[in-house]
Homo-oligomer: A and B are copies of this chain.
């Protein structure tokens, strides 16, 4: 059904090799032949069989990406960034979701390796690095995004999570908050980094908070908004009640927002809220949400570029690179306290 080099060769009374050379702009072909071949290719709508080509070249011109959740706006943005860069180089994007399940992730990695993708981009839910060893064994280069592993030097692209925590917390402090709580994520690296940044910002301003001001959201990113609500309820029950909260991510922050409003309190006056992710509808929420932009799209683009450069390097041992992007604060109403409040607090 599909047209093959052979068909074109036969039609034109030339060899397959000749046609193949024209296809790849491989010199040493007379103008005449080249044009006849191109013409026929166009007529027959010829498209080279990439599977066949992959078999002989060892390159599929496909990059695999595995994310925990396709619907999470962060990963959608990443995918868009990846796709944008890969398209330009006519690489394909094979995508799959681990559904936040480490075991599933391992299966998906195996699938990708079987498919012989040229490189792999992974936002891992893994606790151990064992599956990456297997990727390395196959000689497939890979780039981690968003989540990294301590004590493992691998290619990584992500936002500087400690800066995220510092930025958000610092902003809350500047807004006049003094009793700042944190709803943290589960044990993955971004959660730890943001927590660390939060602590650092508090320390720098000589603020201390009760241990109970740090509460854990659930692990399931998907239900972030529900777990954020639960966590915020706990915080509101404390005495003294926090006057500001930095949430691990935007879904969590939305949940927190809900809990605060449900309790009959005002945002930002009673409790200011900052999140992270700057999902594109943050501005449209019940109270427009201050958020730290983690440059999702850019993460995808940089990851794609890094992956491609590894492919070009053809397994020549490149030492792992780390790309840390600078987060940016986007201030909105959820932290917009009146100046006077800020001043009063600062006097104290």
Interface assignment of A284: CB less than 8 Å from any CB of chain B: yes
- The reply on A52 being an interface residue by CB < 8 A is yes
Q: Which residues of B contact A48 (CB under 8 A)?
A: 114
Residue of B nearest to A282 (CB): B281
Q: Which of B71, B137, B286 meets A286, CB within 8 Å?
A: B286
Interface size class of A (residues with CB under 8 A): 35 or more
A104 to chain B, nearest CB (A): 8
B96 and A93 form a contact (CB under 8 A)? yes
Among B50, B54, B71, which residue has its beta carbon within 8 angstroms of that of A73?
B71
- Bound Cα distance from A294 to B113, whole angstroms: 35
Q: Identify which of B50, B69, B76 contacts A114 (C-beta below 8 A).
A: B50
Instruction: Report the nearest B residue to A93, measured CB to CB.
Output: B95
Given A47-B114, A138-B2, A284-B285, A80:B71 Cβ within 8 A: yes
Q: Which residue of chain B has its CB nearest to the CB of A104? A: B87
Asked if A114 and B49 sit within 8 Å, CB to CB, the answer is yes
> Could you say which residues of chain B place their CB within 8 Å of the CB of A1?
138-139, 315
Contact mask A313-337 → B, CB, 8 Å, 1/0?
A: 0010000000000000000000000
Task: Say if the beta carbon of A55 comes within 8 Å of chain B.
Answer: yes
* A20 close to chain B: CB less than 8 A: no
Q: Contact: A71 with B76, CB < 8 Å?
A: yes
Question: Whole-angstrom distance from the CB of A139 to the nearest CB of chain B?
Answer: 4
Q: Flag if B115 contacts A50 (CB, 8 Å).
A: yes
Which residues of A31-70 have CB atoms within 8 Å of chain B's CB atoms?
Answer: 45, 47-52, 54-55, 60, 62, 69-70
A139 and B2 contact, Cβ closer than 8 Å, known pairs A55-B55, A114-B49: yes
Q: Please name all residues of chain B whose beta carbon is closer than 8 Å to the beta carbon of A179 when the two chains form the complex.
A: none
- A254 at the A/B interface (Cβ < 8 Å)? yes
Taking a contact as CB atoms closer than 8 A, the residue among B47, B60, B93 that contacts A113 in the complex is B47
**Min distance, Cβ A210 to any Cβ of chain B, angstroms:** 29
CB distance from A249 to the nearest CB of B (A): 13
Q: How far is the CA of A115 from the CA of B90 in the complex (A)?
A: 11
**Residue interface bits A277-312, CB-to-B below 8 A is 1, else 0:** 001110011111000000000000000000000000
Q: How far is the CB of A297 from chain B (nearest CB, A)?
A: 9
* Top-7 shortest CB links A-B: A1-B139, A51-B54, A47-B114, A70-B80, A71-B76, A95-B95, A51-B51
Among the listed B2, B50, B90, B254, which residue makes an inter-chain contact with A281, where contact means beta carbons less than 8 Å apart?
A: B254
